[in-house]
Structure 1
């Protein structure tokens, strides 16, 4: 479960965005450093601000919040695409204690989750997490540790009767029934066509080749599902 990746203290910083925002305000790195110190008590050298903008170093989470304040923007405007729970939270500028309260968790339990701990919340808390952090469906499923369950259901859907899995997959992934139905039917047809095609190659290795093709398809079933869900929603 990818709730924690890389240096927890240093979120993925968008150096170009920081430079662009500063220049739009007519500020110098020295002005930014002064603003961070005046409003947040963080004493940062102008050279450090310049280094962030050049991509040589990156600010910590605390420094990012102060930098956003000095540049009159949301922290999310200074981040690259979020990858972890912490990064999604920072992008929205939500404090740990506020998010934990919305989820009905104590602060320590939520912090453990951000540090790579296992999700132990219920369905209501999972829905609240997705809503609070505006998580895309793949991220919500991953952060709540449901990747394995979804993969198992998708495997059964394409290898047996896909119709029986529309409802449970839709519930787990929080997706509309119609979209899940279309994607499962497409995946099922592609899997069956691939199996049939390899069997029709002829020769003694037909069954073996079919088995390899089937395993390769199933190994990538989760990524294929999300890719087609995204395409259906475009």
Structure 2
């Protein structure tokens, strides 16, 4: 049954207030539509939370766009060329042969505008394609490199035995004569440096943030949360230590 916009709003508002059954009865909403309205209300709430969330305002990183200057220049140049063509068009008089050269000039400016905008669009598409390919190559290399798998295996050993990595634990591993402890420490440092590298790539706009989120978000969250105490100790001495890794972990907060 179709309901007008105002009725739909009232139904969703009632669902969010916990009066779902009452509004369903008031507006005679059948079972199929009830499910749809519940999803609609949930989606509306999610949109508001994402829009106004403190996580979005204070924790999301600013990702650079390496080619924004080129795109801005191409767009501006193209707009100016079209503006010049419009100005010239006002001087054209088809009854006056002396104004015919203006037609050629106007066509030239239009061609320049189209070429400039086309260059900007082409550059953006090329950059996006290259960035996506680079990101996929970097992510795929994670599985192909034995160093990453060995480091993660050693790190998991630390995680099972100690749950959290602290400065005291790192000092213990560094001073331990046990070969396994040294491998665990080496794996820990490898992962921290690896994810700092990934975070720098995302922040600078060289790696696609969406692909990284879909493929590495779990690893980033897992490694950072396990080593958070150790990282905080390092940053107390030098705030810039692993700063990009920390920022990317905050960026991946929910929602």
Same fold by TM (over 0.5)? no
By relative contact order (CA 8 Å, sep 6+), the higher-ranking structure is 2
TM-score tier (shorter)? under 0.3
TM, length-normalised to structure 2? 0.24
- TM-score, with normalisation over the residues of structure 1? 0.26
